Amino acid sequence: MTLYSRIRSALQATALGAAAICMGLPALAETYDIDQLIDLSALTPEEVYRFEPNYLWVEPGDTIRFLNSTGNHTVTSIDGIWPEGVAPVSIEHKAEASVTFDTAGIYGFRCKVHGRHGMYALIIAGSPEANKDSLDLSNLGDLGRRVFERLFEEMQKDIAARDG
Ligand SMILES: [Cu+2]
């Protein structure tokens, strides 16, 4: 290695280090995408009609862009899986619509048309504490309850991982 190339790689390492430090600063609000799919190659109905992804943990202040809430798809908040005092969400006929999660808690979404096929999504913003003990699945049918039980298992794993 020549002196010149050694200096150059030292400079590059410094630049990488600086970039890494920048990324370690308190996170700015992020934006995530959730798509709405009709995937005819899927094996089960709840995979044919689905939010992709259907489970996401964000931080308060983050935004989710819901894509392709067109045709028959909707993004509709579920009474009983929604933090108290947060305005309900009802997105229809939008190729793209953003929801910002300012309040910590657990948020359940369904597609009004394909909920009967299991088209649901679970979002946790920051911490589930606000409404984790007051979740009410009585507005859902059997399939919806089964889907949310699976999604809540994911959430419990993430809670355990965060606490551990
Ligand atoms: Cu749908």
144 against 15, higher pLDDT = 144
Q: How open is the CA angle 138-142-144, to the nearest 5 degrees? A: 75
- The answer, yes or no, to whether residue 74 has pLDDT greater than 70, is yes
For the chain, the distance separating the N- and C-terminal CA atoms, rounded to the nearest angstrom, is: 45
The number of helices, as runs of H, and strands, as runs of E, in the chain is 3, 7
41 CA from centroid of ligand 1 (Å): 16
121 CA from centroid of ligand 1 (Å): 11
119 CA from centroid of ligand 1 (Å): 6
- The answer, yes or no, to whether residue 147 has pLDDT greater than 80, is yes
50 CA from centroid of ligand 1 (Å): 7
Reported as a single tens digit per residue, the pLDDT across 96-146 is 999 999 999 999 999 999 999 999 999 999 999 999 999 999 989 999 999
2 CA from centroid of ligand 1 (Å): 62
Report pLDDT for 118: 93
- The answer, yes or no, to whether residue 1 has pLDDT greater than 80, is no
Collapsing DSSP states into helix, strand and coil, what is residue 65?
A: strand
111 CA from centroid of ligand 1 (Å): 5
Q: Which residue, 97, 98, 99, 141, is CA-closest to 119?
A: 141
114 CA from centroid of ligand 1 (Å): 4
Q: Which stretches of 5-62 are assigned E, i.e. beta strand?
A: 31-38, 49-52, 55-58
28 against 147, higher pLDDT = 147
22 CA from centroid of ligand 1 (Å): 40
Which domains are delineated in the chain?
A: 28-163 (2.60.40.420)
Reported as a single tens digit per residue, the pLDDT across 22-60 is 555 666 899 999 999 999 999 987 789 999 999 999 999
Report pLDDT for 4: 58
62 CA from centroid of ligand 1 (Å): 24
pTM: 0.82
**Which of 2-16, 22-36, 143-157 shows the highest mean pLDDT?**
143-157
Distances (CA, A) of 128 to 101, 105, 121, 152: 13, 5, 15, 11
